[in-house]
Homo-oligomer: A and B are copies of this chain.
Amino acid sequence: MNNFIYNTPTKVFFGKNQEDKLGEILKSYNIKKVLLHYGKESIKKSGLYDKVINQLKAFKIDFVELGGVTPNPKLSLALKGVEIAKKEKVDLILAVGGGSVIDSAKLISVGAKVDFNPWLFSIKEKTPNDHIPVGTILTISAAGSDMSNSCVITNDTTKEKRGFVSEENRCLFAILNPELTYTVSKYQTACGIVDIMMHTLERYFSSGDDTPLTDNIALGLLKAVYDAGKILITDPYNYNARATIMWANSLSHNGLTGVGRNYIMSVHQLEHELSGMYDEISHGAGLAVLWPAWAKIAYKAEIKRFSRYAYEVIGITKTNDSIADILKAIEETQNYFISLGMPKSLRELNVKESSLEELAHNTMFKGKRVLEDIIKVDYEMAYKILKLAY
């Protein structure tokens, strides 16, 4: 087991009606003025926006607003947020929405403390060491940004999508009410389930010594999500299934399922290039197509781990041919994603075959890196995976 630092300071308020505690929570942290950050109209339609405003007013907490966050959140909007946060001297950014809104809030949070463009954090030319606290009311179970140290932003000028990790990116608090996700569309629910599974799959299929506790937790989380997803296909208002997915969203990306291991999340890196180039592609949909392709190549490097996944998560009946069992599990995983409503190929996502080379090239940061985990993903391998996923 590798040495590790485990840091999950985010205080989680989980369950029904927890958003009604917002004012009380902000008061407990002595917050006087917030920047309310959100996406498009959905929180207004659902009534959540009004609830938030009423809480802020009732507890006499001053606020300014910045809406308009899009999927694959854009640098340009975050820079506007930085300007507002500085000018208005807010002492918390309240992200009401999904992972895109939270990630945008995170960039504002670190950007407001420096005099340069925080994109320099994204491209790792600078390292943040201070931030304005971020609190969130989560409305989509997917990215796990509410408890993660990760922030992914797309530069709308260069079309680059870049993530950076920092302990400055941890939210102060997260309000997670599974009922707020009842109205998430079937497609977006599916994208979320894939993203959640992938955060743990990419930690589990990694190199390192034996880590039985981390592995058991990882497999247990995957199984719970897999089962809950099946329920949600026919019963989107099932509270316990929504709650399972929402809590897994947090635990899958806060570090828990990978401690003690070496992981670099190659499939995520490939997907970031994909949805960076094709803005209309949802992160989860991209992952759903790319992971099975990666797995069909990578399984040979980790037969033992893939076997446990096959038997303990997917529930493949054990035969004498463990390779066949693993391949069946990978196929079954892809079929599961398809049953949730996910595409089965890059072609189905309207990706041009002619862009595969550029995607592979971009994933390698144009020759500046190689991704080495249980398999080595260099340009040729990236291209091979993309081609197989096409």
Contacts of A7 in B (CB 8 A): 11-12
In angstroms, Cα B54 to Cα A341, docked, is 60
Contacts of A2 in B (CB 8 A): 15
A220 CB contact (under 8 Å) in B213, B227, B243 = B213
Instruction: Indicate whether A234 reaches chain B with its CB closer than 8 angstroms.
Output: no
Taking CB atoms and an 8 Å cut-off, the chain A residues in 219-257 that contact chain B are 219-221, 223-225, 227-228, 239-240, 243-244, 247-248, 251, 256
Binding site for B on A (CB under 8 A): 1-9, 11-16, 18, 209-214, 216-217, 219-221, 223-225, 227-228, 239-240, 243-244, 247-248, 251, 256, 259-260
Q: What are the 5 closest A-B residue pairs judged by CB atoms, nearest first?
A: A3-B15, A216-B220, A213-B224, A6-B12, A220-B220
Contacts of A211 in B (CB 8 A): 240, 244
Contacts of A5 in B (CB 8 A): 11-14
Cβ-closest chain B residue relative to A167: B11
Contact A3 B11 (CB under 8 A): no
In angstroms, Cα B1 to Cα A243, docked, is 7
Contact A247 B259 (CB under 8 A): yes
Q: How far is the CB of A163 from chain B (nearest CB, A)?
A: 22
In angstroms, Cα B212 to Cα A224, docked, is 6
Contacts of A12 in B (CB 8 A): 4-7
A6 CB contact (under 8 Å) in B3, B4, B14 = B14
A217 CB contact (under 8 Å) in B8, B210, B220 = B220
Contact B3 A14 (CB under 8 A): yes
In angstroms, Cα B1 to Cα A281, docked, is 33
In angstroms, Cα B178 to Cα A209, docked, is 15
Contact B212 A216 (CB under 8 A): no
A227 with B212, Cβ < 8 A, contacts A12-B7, A14-B259 known? yes
In angstroms, Cα B339 to Cα A87, docked, is 66
Contacts of A9 in B (CB 8 A): 8-9, 11
Between A and B, 21 residue pairs with Cβ closer than 8 Å are A3-B15, A4-B14, A6-B11, A6-B12, A210-B240, A211-B240, A211-B244, A212-B227, A212-B228, A213-B224, A213-B244, A213-B247, A213-B248, A213-B251, A216-B224, A217-B220, A217-B251, A219-B220, A220-B220, A243-B260, A247-B259
Contacts of A251 in B (CB 8 A): 213, 217
In angstroms, Cα B9 to Cα A9, docked, is 4
Q: How far is the CB of A106 from chain B (nearest CB, A)?
A: 19
In angstroms, Cα B212 to Cα A283, docked, is 26
Contacts of A14 in B (CB 8 A): 3-6, 259-260
Contact A223 B227 (CB under 8 A): no
Q: How far is the CB of A15 from chain B (nearest CB, A)?
A: 3
Contacts of A260 in B (CB 8 A): 14, 243, 247
